[in-house]
A and B are shown apart, each in its own frame.
Chain A
Amino acid sequence: MFENLSQRLQDVFGKLTGKGRLSEADIDAAMREVRVALLEADVNFLVVKDFVARVRERALGTDVLRSMTPGQTVIKIVLDELTSLMGAGESKLAFSGRFPNVIMLVGLQGSGKTTAAAKLANLLRKQGRRPLMVACDVYRPAAIDQLESLGRELGIPVYRGVEGADPVDIAKAGVKAAVADMRDTVIVDTAGRLHVDETMMGEAALIRDAVRPDQVLMVIDAMTGQDAVTAATAFAERVDFDGVIVTKLDGDSRGGAALSVRAVTGKPIKFIGVGEKLDALEPFHPDRMAQRILGMGDMVSLIERAQSTVAAEDAAELEKKLRSSELTLDDFLQQLQQVRKMGSLKDVLGMIPGMGAAQRAQVANADVDEKALDRTQAIIQSMSAQERRKPALINGHRRVRIARGSGTSVQEVNRLLEQFAQMKKMMKQMGKMKGKGRGMPQMPF
């Protein structure tokens, strides 16, 4: 369903191999893929329009047209632009010298404000602050009980007004209670409200005016679609928030809404919610979000490393061979050496896009034995040029010779040849599936 952008671009540019140079029309075809990828990630269509125009301009102005790996070059541009659109660096909460500092949370119904309030209180306490939470959602049944219960769980006090009190008064009284209790940070949880609800938006503005928060944060559900910007724009106009908390990022949504809100309102994303537990609130990293939107692993570092170590032509040639069945042990040796230049195998495997969480964990646990790589290299280097091209030639006698020459055993030589044959078979299948294949083939080292 959601193919990632690199696969899509591979398909686009894959059709072009042998044609030599790319044309402007080829770039346009790539831009159509970029557009669809962003729309499927729920980036607002107006943001997409503008974004694609800018990327196209940059792509035409750079070496994409001459590049041997145009797909990767385009992705690099897309990622750079997405990341810069998302804001530079990670953004921290700015505290003032005022006592107490007040943080107010606003947002649509069901976006996760109450949970976010508790998570934020928990995080700030870990940073040495003394938070108090104020429960101003008098509308949703048991919303106040919910915050109180979370506060109890954390051992952080919650101020709740008297029965029937108005949210504005509760907020004011809550700040007073914080002063009395020597609490330096107040987190005000408010009711979920629709941006088109005049009365409720007016109330949010009144609460803001009453407690003059140092920070107003809008809580946005990562699953939100195209309408995220409409809501955020209205909240920006009526309550003027300072930053965003994106929730439910432990789901598998691409989270394009976050990008859209940042792009349209200019407000930075401060935190992301990544679980139901009260410690599942993390600082925001623009680069990771950009990769998520495109459905990729840590592509940038991988591409950057590949660019600095592998000559583009070699890489393209090798990829072609990998996809066909012409792969020889020579190519394999070359690949092995290049991969090792890029860093430890574990690192490299971890950065490959399209790997699921489970595979990632596997790689993390797999203790790739770098010594075994040395031995693999030695075995291949002990073969004759003819043997490397045609491993079928390697009979029992030759195996003994190779084992001796490389200081390994016949069993090890056998294993390598067997795994190489298997890998070739898998590569051939992957070539047929054309980018659909997800699993990593078992490398013979």
Chain B
Amino acid sequence: MSPSWLDRLSGGLARTREQLGDRIAELVGRGPEVGEGFWDGLEETLIAADMGAGPASAITAALKSRSRREDLPDAAAVEVALVDLIAAQMPVHPDPLAESPLTVLFVGINGTGKTTSVGKIAAEAAGAGRNVVIGSADTYRAAAIEQLRVWADRASVPIVERERGADPASVVFDTLAVARENGSDLVLVDTAGRLHNSADLMQELAKVQRVARAQSVFPVKSLLVIDATTGQNGIAQARAFHDALELDGIILTKLDGTARGGIAVAIATQLGLPIVRIGVGESLEDLRPFDATEFARALILGR
């Protein structure tokens, strides 16, 4: 590989880090005549945020035509318009976690942050005075139970578990029994990470959900945990989990890195699912409610 190719690329990377704000200032500086360069730059920024090539070009086109019609006066106006455009796409729903009593299944592919999110949400809910119990239905991965046990401890909530290799549905059965005894109003169930294209494992998950529904009068909700670094495959993931479970929302993790999580916009928009919480770190308190405008701003401007 020639060094010039590498140089050019790393130069380009440095430019991506450049804030869009500069580009907008550039646009305004040039007066009403907006060059193609600006719009290309905008489209690239959206692609770099993992919004997807299609949505990126659609949003750019929409903003472009709006800028002609409304003659957006200054950088702030362009920025606000763009943020609004993205934020307005996100479906608005009441917080599904606010419901009580409630059973929640945490699902997703391997390593997205399911177990950590269960711990964080347990702490949030217990802090708000709810009676929480956690079920460890990841009976597959090595030390998954031990990991969740630590989180239950940190959040000071009880955990229900079985031995590794046990039927995950049976753990849910046990957990709901304990919830009844304890008078719990929130049951959080961690499940094993699984690839969405594995039909067997998706069926297993559907069975877990069926058992949860059959064993409890609590409504059962399923949240998809998605890693913010995920690329375009996130849509296939979300579709497959939605097909198997009828999801109720998304938890978007690892937003403390440099990935912008644009795929979540595509998923939320296409499947009509709310983003319920965002993960911004590895500690108990690194969980935030989702704010569409704030998220859209971070998506295009960085943090």
Which residues of the other chain, A, contact B230 by a CB distance below 8 angstroms?
A: 223-225
Which of A140-148, A373-381, A425-433 contacts its partner? Answer: A140-148
Residue of A nearest to B141 (CB): A146
A47 to B9 Cα, complex, angstroms: 7
B202 to chain A, nearest CB (A): 13
Q: Which of A139, A145, A225, A263 is close to B229, meaning CB atoms less than 8 Å apart? A: A225
Asked whether B50 lies within 8 Å of A141 as measured between CB atoms, the reply is: no
A308 to chain B, nearest CB (A): 31
User: Which residues of chain A from 102 to 127 have a CB within 8 Å of any chain B CB?
Assistant: 108-112
Residue of B nearest to A250 (CB): B195
Asked whether A153 lies within 8 Å of B13 as measured between CB atoms, the reply is: no
A140 to B259 Cα, complex, angstroms: 21
Chain B, residues 130-147, CB within 8 Å of chain A (1/0): the string is: 000000000011111011
Residue of A nearest to B227 (CB): A110
For the side of the interface on B, what is the size category? Answer: 35 or more
A266 to B1 Cα, complex, angstroms: 7
A42 to B233 Cα, complex, angstroms: 8
B73 at the interface (CB under 8 A from A): no
- With contacts A141-B151, A223-B230 taken as known, whether A109 is within 8 angstroms of B254 at the C-beta atoms is yes
A47 to B195 Cα, complex, angstroms: 28
B232 at the interface (CB under 8 A from A): yes
- With contacts A46-B16, A109-B282 taken as known, whether A226 is within 8 angstroms of B49 at the C-beta atoms is yes
Asked whether A226 lies within 8 Å of B142 as measured between CB atoms, the reply is: no
A300 at the interface (CB under 8 A from B): no
Which residues of the other chain, B, contact A187 by a CB distance below 8 angstroms?
A: none
B44 at the interface (CB under 8 A from A): yes
A421 at the interface (CB under 8 A from B): no
Chain B, residues 251-266, CB within 8 Å of chain A (1/0): the string is: 0001011111011000
Which of A33-41, A317-325, A364-372 contacts its partner? Answer: A33-41
Asked whether A110 lies within 8 Å of B233 as measured between CB atoms, the reply is: no
- With contacts A1-B236, A251-B109 taken as known, whether A226 is within 8 angstroms of B47 at the C-beta atoms is yes
Which residues of the other chain, B, contact A110 by a CB distance below 8 angstroms?
A: 110-113, 227, 254
Q: Which of B111, B140, B142, B236 is close to A221, meaning CB atoms less than 8 Å apart? A: B111
Which residues of the other chain, B, contact A254 by a CB distance below 8 angstroms?
A: 232-233
Residue of A nearest to B254 (CB): A109
Which of A10-18, A19-27, A207-215, A229-237 contacts its partner? Answer: A229-237
Residue of B nearest to A139 (CB): B282
B198 to chain A, nearest CB (A): 8
B91 at the interface (CB under 8 A from A): no
- With contacts A149-B143, A248-B195 taken as known, whether A221 is within 8 angstroms of B53 at the C-beta atoms is no
B111 to chain A, nearest CB (A): 3
Asked whether A225 lies within 8 Å of B263 as measured between CB atoms, the reply is: yes
Q: Which of A146, A223, A266 is close to B234, meaning CB atoms less than 8 Å apart? A: A223
Residue of A nearest to B17 (CB): A230
Residue of B nearest to A257 (CB): B231
A17 to chain B, nearest CB (A): 27
Which residues of the other chain, A, contact B254 by a CB distance below 8 angstroms?
A: 108-110, 194
Which residues of the other chain, B, contact A150 by a CB distance below 8 angstroms?
A: 142
Which residues of the other chain, A, contact B12 by a CB distance below 8 angstroms?
A: 46, 49
Asked whether A45 lies within 8 Å of B48 as measured between CB atoms, the reply is: yes
A163 at the interface (CB under 8 A from B): no
Asked whether A142 lies within 8 Å of B150 as measured between CB atoms, the reply is: yes
Q: Interface centre among B9, B52, B151, B237, by most A CB within 10 Å?
A: B9
A63 at the interface (CB under 8 A from B): no
A41 to chain B, nearest CB (A): 7
A49 to B196 Cα, complex, angstroms: 31
A39 to B53 Cα, complex, angstroms: 6
- When A and B form their complex, which 9 residue pairs have the shortest distance between CB atoms, in order from nearest? A225-B231, A110-B111, A141-B150, A42-B231, A253-B233, A146-B143, A142-B146, A142-B147, A149-B142
Chain B residues within 8 Å of A, Cβ to Cβ = 1, 5-6, 8-10, 12-13, 16, 44, 47-50, 52-54, 109-113, 140-144, 146-147, 149-151, 195-198, 227, 229-237, 254, 256-260, 262-263, 282
Chain A residues within 8 Å of B, Cβ to Cβ = 1, 35-36, 39-42, 45-47, 49-50, 108-112, 139-143, 145-150, 153, 194-196, 221, 223-231, 233, 248, 250-254, 256-257, 263-264, 266, 276
